[in-house]
Amino acid sequence: MTQTLYVRPIDRKDLVFQLVRHQRLRADPTGPIEVLDAFWDLGAPIGNETTAPLLLIYADLMSTRDPRNVQTAALVRAQME
């Protein structure tokens, strides 16, 4: 299962450095982690984190076709209605 991290483009270099340093990750084009540029305004943090728009979360979950993610996507969709 792929883990997707959306980050501000200006923070991408620092985040990748920290992942490599602290988690000892190595580049692998087919690896389980993808780091993508956030293409929306991340806005104010919620607690210690910022979150993606619900529609993007829903789309990412549905794109996996994993039954557990599809079930979770239904819960996200209910929040959007």
Report CA torsion sign: 40, 59, 28, 18: positive
Query: In the predicted model, what is the mean pLDDT of the chain?
Result: 85
Of residues 14 and 49, the one with the higher pLDDT is 14
Cross-strand pairs, 33 = 3
pLDDT at residue 54, as a whole number: 87
- pTM (predicted TM-score): 0.68
Q: pLDDT-based confidence at 34, cuts 50/70/90?
A: confident
Degrees (nearest 5) of the Cα angle 20, 24, 25? 65
Percent of the chain with pLDDT over 90: 28
Q: 28 falls in which pLDDT band (50, 70, 90)?
A: confident
